Amino acid sequence: MSKKVKFQTPTGMHDILPEDQFLYEKIWRVVDDVAAFYGFGKIETPLVEDAALFEKGTGGTTDIVEKQMYTLKTRGGDMLALRPEFTPGIVRSYIQHGMIALPQPVKLYAYGPLFRYEHPQAGRFRQFRQVDFEVFGEQSAALDAQIIQIFYVILKELKFSHLIIEVNSIGDNQCRPYYKKLLSGYLRPRQNSLCADCRRRIRENPLRTLDCKEEKCQRVRSQAPQLIDHLCEECKNHFKSLLEFLDETDLPYHLDPYLVRGLDYYTKTVFEIFSEQTMKTTGEGGEVVQRNALVGGGRYDGLVHLLGGKDVPASGAAAGVERIVSFLKEMEFAAAPAPVARIFLAQLGDLSKKKSLRLLEEFRKAKIQIAESLGRDSLRTQLARADKLEVEYTAILGQKEVLDGTIVLRKMDTGEQETLKLEKVVEEIKERLRK
């Protein structure tokens, strides 16, 4: 006897059920409103791209490319990847569609699903959603500050409090090579105190060791030389300018000299936005402050050129939507009120059902919320449902009424009934509800 298969969502994937949809829709509404105000145009890129786009753009030594990318080979032999992030695809679109010919800066935003093969944990999924903002064609640190401000505003609009912005500069190809040598020189004698990944990173990209979350690696990192002390004049001035813009906007930021982000394409500005929560503990002391990263981004002046375009400066950032949703739930965000029906349509028999479908559409066009139970034939059952919904009126349509071109309107609190012309019932009910 064959075993019955019980299907579940794949590991790391999740359903968004009706009761959670309003949270995602609220986020999209806030994002659309903020994007429109700041002059960003919405862009949608394919869920799949050439795998080499991410290998080259995101970086061959990043965890995303080395460990997390979903790849597939087509029948024609093309190697594609489910997009693990937005930026390389948006850069590809900017180049492909000649957006450099448009008035600069070009401001684009996107939201939707991304895919990364990683260990599922709270707030992390293998299919997840992000909100992404990108600006092309502007060198000024003012655009970095604006990207930071946009995400800060989005989170504040969603009622987040206790937000902290952490910023740093990681230099560019003029000053960063010297710092990498300096950092490697510091790390090599201490590599036995590092995790296996960081020992490998010393050879491939020592900056990545600064992004490691392992506690023993963070202890080593805390004494490492700081890149900010070794910036060239241009990067130093850019960072100074950024901090002045942030001061002017009164955004609460901290300087984190070891913040590098986990992607290879960043230059100069990098930042993250955290939400701080006070959590109760079981032991003595009572409370501990927990920090949760919601947004990350920075400047990537070399990426457009790297992917085949001209030398175009750019800046951008992304926010994890599932993580935001989980915090909205913890904040006991009020559920969206369901549309309240004031009318119930009861029908008896097949002829009435057929007529009811057209009648329901007329109510929809008139913007009158109406409830029904088209699958039920018993009038008693339908009236009981109408009572439960606490509607004001029930419109009763039987076989006789259909043939006569009429409908019975029952006032639910008194039980009074009257017969109306079917062709005028929508306008009649609309008038009564208005009163």
pLDDT of residue 330: 81
| Spatial distance between the Cα atoms of 276 and 271, rounded to a whole number of angstroms | 16
Half-sphere exposure of 264 (CA within 13 A, CB side): 20
Half-sphere exposure of 236 (CA within 13 A, CB side): 8
44 is in an annotated binding site: no
| Spatial distance between the Cα atoms of 427 and 363, rounded to a whole number of angstroms | 9
85 is in an annotated binding site: yes
265 is in an annotated binding site: yes
pLDDT of residue 284: 59
What are phi and psi for residue 283, nearest 5 degrees?
-85, -170
Pick the CATH number of 343-434 from 3.40.605.10, 3.40.630.40, 3.40.1440.10, 3.40.50.800: 3.40.50.800
How confident is the prediction along the chain (435 residues), in pLDDT tens digits per residue? 566 778 999 988 999 999 899 999 999 999 999 999 999 999 999 999 999 999 988 887 677 887 889 999 999 999 999 999 999 999 999 999 999 999 999 999 999 999 999 776 666 799 999 999 999 999 999 999 999 999 999 999 999 988 999 999 999 989 988 998 999 999 999 988 999 889 988 888 888 888 888 889 989 888 999 989 999 999 999 999 999 999 998 899 999 998 988 677 899 999 999 998 765 555 555 566 678 889 999 999 999 999 999 999 999 999 999 999 988 888 766 555 666 888 999 998 888 888 888 899 999 999 999 998 887 778 889 999 999 989 999 999 998 999 999 999 999 999 999 999 999 999 999 988 887
pLDDT of residue 316: 97
| Spatial distance between the Cα atoms of 108 and 35, rounded to a whole number of angstroms | 9
pLDDT of residue 305: 94
134 is in an annotated binding site: yes
Q: Which CATH architecture has domain 18-175+231-330?
A: 2-Layer Sandwich (3.30)
pLDDT of residue 144: 97
pLDDT of residue 5: 75
394 is in an annotated binding site: no
87 is in an annotated binding site: yes
Domain 18-175+231-330 matches domain 343-434 at the CATH topology level: no
Strand order in the sheet with 267-280: 41-42, 106-115, 127-136, 314-320, 287-299, 267-280, 163-169, 253-255
What is the enclosing helix (H) or strand (E) of 253? strand 253-255
380 is in an annotated binding site: no
Residue type, 75: R
What is the enclosing helix (H) or strand (E) of 56? helix 51-57
pLDDT of residue 409: 93
Half-sphere exposure of 224 (CA within 13 A, CB side): 34
What is the enclosing helix (H) or strand (E) of 11? none
Q: Give residue limits of the domains in the chain.
A: 18-175+231-330, 343-434
Give pTM, 2 decimals.
0.84
What are phi and psi for residue 281, nearest 5 degrees?
-115, 160
130 is in an annotated binding site: yes
38 is in an annotated binding site: no
